[in-house]
């Protein structure tokens, strides 16, 4: 086990390369979650459509994601898109989006269905179409209720992005394992990367908390 003084020394000596890895980790996570939100919203609408074939498609997608390891999904995107010259970044981003979209679909389904049905009826009574009522009345409330679980999903996606190291993307975890192997000091660099992940999780949690408070005040 390395001494604390040694870990601190290496931490400051290697901060520049870890910061680059952290930036790449944040980029791939943010892009994947943004895409996953659209995927999740799409499949959430399929699940609540009341049309059996659409519900079956949504359930099949969610079952497929839940039933297969994330690393397998990422590898399928990576090797399956080699002919399309897709970079490792986009392979990971799309793989994470495909994976997180299933969980976000269930989050949106739950929050949309939690809104009182009378609000849809009230919107229709005012002459608004079902689509317009959903967009202006139901979805804004559903998004507010979905914020805490979406924040948790963002954190999960952040930690899952470490799997990008297995296809050669030089994000945080890959930086730690590469530097550790080159310097024969794996434990030190693993402890350092743990600190970076803890900082990012704290930062995301704080931002989500601030957004929740702002929305609760507006209510």
* Per-residue pLDDT reduced to its tens digit, 98-121: 999 999 999 999 998 888 877 777
CA 163 – CA 61 distance, rounded (Å): 22
Taking residue 191's Cβ as centre, other Cβ atoms within 10 Å add up to: 18
**In which region does residue 47 sit, left (phi positive, over 0), alpha (psi from -120 to 50) or beta (all else)?**
alpha
Which residue pairs from 18-23 have beta carbons closer than 8 angstroms and sit at least 24 positions apart in sequence?
Answer: 18/172, 18/175, 18/176, 18/192, 18/193, 18/196, 20/170, 20/175, 21/170, 21/171, 21/172, 21/174, 21/175, 21/176, 21/196, 22/172, 22/196, 22/200
CA 173 – CA 193 distance, rounded (Å): 7
- Give residue 192's pLDDT band: very low, low, confident or very high (50, 70, 90): very high
pLDDT given at position 46: 94
Instruction: Give the distance, in angstroms, between the CA of residue 209 and the centroid of all CA atoms in the same chain.
Output: 17
How large a percentage of the chain has pLDDT more than 90? 62
3-state secondary structure of 33: helix
Burial of 40 (0-12, 13-18, 19+ CB in 10 A): buried
Q: C-alpha angle 25/173/189, rounded to 5°?
A: 130
Q: 123: which 2 tokens?
A: 């919107």
pLDDT given at position 18: 95
Looking at the predicted structure, is the pLDDT value of residue 217 above 60?
A: no
Buried b (16+ CB within 10 A) or exposed e, 150-173: bbebbbbbbebbbbbbebebbbbb
Phi, psi angles (nearest 5°) of residue 168: 90, 5
pTM of the complete model: 0.89
How large a percentage of the chain has pLDDT more than 70? 98
Burial of 21 (0-12, 13-18, 19+ CB in 10 A): buried
- Give residue 2's pLDDT band: very low, low, confident or very high (50, 70, 90): confident
pLDDT digit string (tens) for 127-150? 777 778 877 788 888 888 899 899
CA 2 – CA 207 distance, rounded (Å): 33
Instruction: List C-alpha distances in Å: 99 to 71, 161, 166.
Output: 10, 11, 17
pLDDT digit string (tens) for 42-74? 999 999 988 999 999 999 999 999 999 999 999
């Amino acid at each position: 086990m390395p001494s604390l003084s040694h870990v601190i020394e290496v931490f400051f000596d290697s901060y520049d390369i870890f910061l680059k890895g952290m930036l790449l980790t944040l980029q791939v996570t943010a892009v994947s979650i943004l895409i996953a939100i659209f995927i999740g919203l799409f499949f959430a609408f399929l699940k609540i459509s009341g049309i059996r074939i659409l519900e079956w498609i949504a359930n099949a997608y969610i079952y497929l994601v839940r039933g297969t390891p994330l690393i397998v999904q990422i590898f399928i995107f990576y090797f399956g898109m080699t002919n399309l010259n897709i970079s490792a970044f986009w392979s990971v981003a799309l793989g994470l989006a495909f994976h997180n979209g299933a969980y976000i679909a269930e989050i949106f389904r739950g929050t949309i269905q939690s809104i009182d049905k009378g609000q849809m009826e009230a919107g229709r009574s005012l002459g608004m179409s079902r689509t317009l009522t959903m967009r202006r009345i139901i979805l804004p409330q559903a998004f507010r209720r979905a914020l805490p679980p979406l924040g948790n999903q963002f954190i999960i996606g952040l930690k899952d992005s470490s799997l990008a190291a297995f296809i050669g993307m030089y994000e945080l975890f890959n930086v730690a394992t590469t530097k550790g192997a080159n310097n024969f000091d794996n434990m030190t660099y693993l402890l350092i990367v743990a600190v970076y992940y803890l900082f990012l999780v704290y930062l995301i949690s704080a931002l989500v908390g601030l957004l929740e408070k702002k929305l609760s005040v507006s209510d």
